[in-house]
Amino acid sequence: MFTSTEKNTQLIKSEAKRLGFMQCGIAAATELTEDAKRLETWLNKDYQGKMAYMERHFDLRIDPRKLVPEAKSVITLLLNYYPEEKQNEAAPKIAKYAWGIDYHYVIREKLNTLLAFIKSNIGDVTGRGFVDSAPVLERAWAQKSGLGWVGKNANLIHNKAGSFFFIATLICDLDLTYDTPFVTDHCGTCTRCIDACPTDAIINPTVIDGSKCISYLTIELKDALIPQELQTQMQGWTFGCDVCQDVCPWNRFSKPHTELAFKPLTQVLNLSSKEWEAISEDNFKHYFKQSPIARTKWGGMMRNIKATRTYPND
């Protein structure tokens, strides 16, 4: 006989699967004491670069009960984005997560649907969904929810699905059955991600100097120019970077996603650097209005294209 808590947990996980999430794990909403120490150390070393937002709302990042009063459960969900398509070799390299519609739109809709389902089928539950846009330590909660471990490249790795997935979080004031945390590390002696990082941004296992990461340089950095000493190491990446995931042995388990919204844009797969440079600002806004690429804006993308054309991929 299932208890109401177990029944509610099964209902939520079943609905998450129906919505297309590949995994759903649940942990008790408590303060992330150890993660708080690691975050503080990372910030003190200025690895956040010019990402000032990482320094704000520290207390909210480490305690979900300050985001959702009286929170009891943190539900973590994984959504696959691994594509079966390949970019044309002449195309500037764009991280796979940005090939289709912006995942924020896709996942927010799914989270809203999940929360509405919970309220309709369980009761008056207070909850908030988050996806990479609020002070939530997603990877820490995923690990506490039994969904994988944090690899040396600082990505969450699932032992049957690799790491090409988005992490979403739903914090609520509902008691649920909690999953066993994933406490083992399965990277072993492998250092492929560290060795392959073009800018040597992986300082130590799980520790990234964000100010050197190509994803930071091409998206977060708003300066008119990318530092010249780093331009020479970008290997053709113009929006994000997949190198540390592409070389990870665990990603041999990655399977193509089934999310229609993530179907790659033709422009992403096929346009050459010269064709990119010919795109007007108006056309850029038209082509990429629902794409993650819109985040860097036309000027930022032109800056990135110029940087990689000046120092082409070896």
Least confident of 1-10, 27-36, 71-80, 257-266: 1-10
Active site residue 132: yes
Cβ distance 168 to 111 under 8 Å? Answer: yes
The yes-or-no verdict on residue 141 having pLDDT over 80 is: yes
Are 205 and 155 within one domain? no
Largest CA distance in the chain: 66
> Beta 207-208 vs 202-204: how paired, if at all?
antiparallel
CA gap 5, 243 in Å, rounded = 42
Residue 234 C-alpha from the chain's centroid: 20
**Predicted confidence band of residue 311 (pLDDT cuts 50, 70, 90):** low
Q: In this predicted model, which residue has the larger pLDDT, 301 or 32?
A: 301
Tens of pLDDT along 161-204? 999 999 999 999 999 999 999 999 999 999 999 999 999 999 99
From the candidates 35, 46, 102, 132, which is the catalytic residue? 132
* pLDDT value of position 43: 79
Tens of pLDDT along 73-98? 999 999 999 999 999 999 999 999 99
Average pLDDT over residues 261-275: 96
117 domain-assigned: yes
**Predicted confidence band of residue 1 (pLDDT cuts 50, 70, 90):** very low
**Predicted confidence band of residue 3 (pLDDT cuts 50, 70, 90):** low
Alpha-carbon dihedral of residues 123, 124, 126, 128, nearest 10 degrees?
Answer: 60
* 49: three-class secondary structure by DSSP: coil
* pLDDT value of position 48: 82
Cβ distance 226 to 217 under 8 Å? Answer: yes
* 156: three-class secondary structure by DSSP: strand
297 domain-assigned: yes
49: left (phi over 0), alpha (psi -120 to 50) or beta: left
**Predicted confidence band of residue 314 (pLDDT cuts 50, 70, 90):** very low
117: containing domain: 4-172
Q: In this predicted model, which residue has the larger pLDDT, 209 or 52?
A: 209
Dihedral sign for Cα 5, 8, 12, 17, please: positive
Q: In this predicted model, which residue has the larger pLDDT, 85 or 32?
A: 85
Q: In the beta sheet, which residues pair with residue 251?
A: none
Are 28 and 145 within one domain? yes
Q: In the beta sheet, which residues pair with residue 156?
A: 150
Residue type, 22: M
Q: Please give the DSSP secondary-structure letter assigned to residue 142.
A: H
**What percent of the chain clears pLDDT 70, i.e. is strictly above it?**
95
Tens of pLDDT along 50-59? 776 666 667 7
| Number of residues that this document lists for the chain | 314
Residue 169 C-alpha from the chain's centroid: 12
Q: Which of 107, 138, 172 is the last residue of a domain?
A: 172
Cβ distance 202 to 244 under 8 Å? Answer: yes
* pLDDT value of position 279: 96
The contacts of residue 9 (CB under 8 Å, 6+ apart) are 26, 176, 177
Q: In what order do the strands lie in the sheet with 73-80?
A: 23-28, 73-80, 165-172, 127-130
Q: In this predicted model, which residue has the larger pLDDT, 53 or 232?
A: 232
178 domain-assigned: no
Q: Which of 141, 172, 203 is the last residue of a domain?
A: 172
Least confident of 3-7, 22-26, 184-188, 196-200: 3-7
Are 76 and 222 within one domain? no
Retrieve residue 89's tokens.
């070799």
114 domain-assigned: yes
Q: In this predicted model, which residue has the larger pLDDT, 45 or 231?
A: 231
182 domain-assigned: no
| Tally of structural domains, the chain | 2
CB neighbours (10 Å) of residue 192? 16
Tens of pLDDT along 120-137? 999 999 999 999 876 688
The contacts of residue 63 (CB under 8 Å, 6+ apart) are 30, 31, 32
The yes-or-no verdict on residue 263 having pLDDT over 50 is: yes
* pLDDT value of position 34: 84
Are 69 and 117 within one domain? yes
* pLDDT value of position 204: 94
Cβ distance 139 to 156 under 8 Å? Answer: yes
CA gap 113, 313 in Å, rounded = 43
Mean pLDDT of the chain, nearest integer: 93
Q: Which of 139, 172, 205 is the last residue of a domain?
A: 172
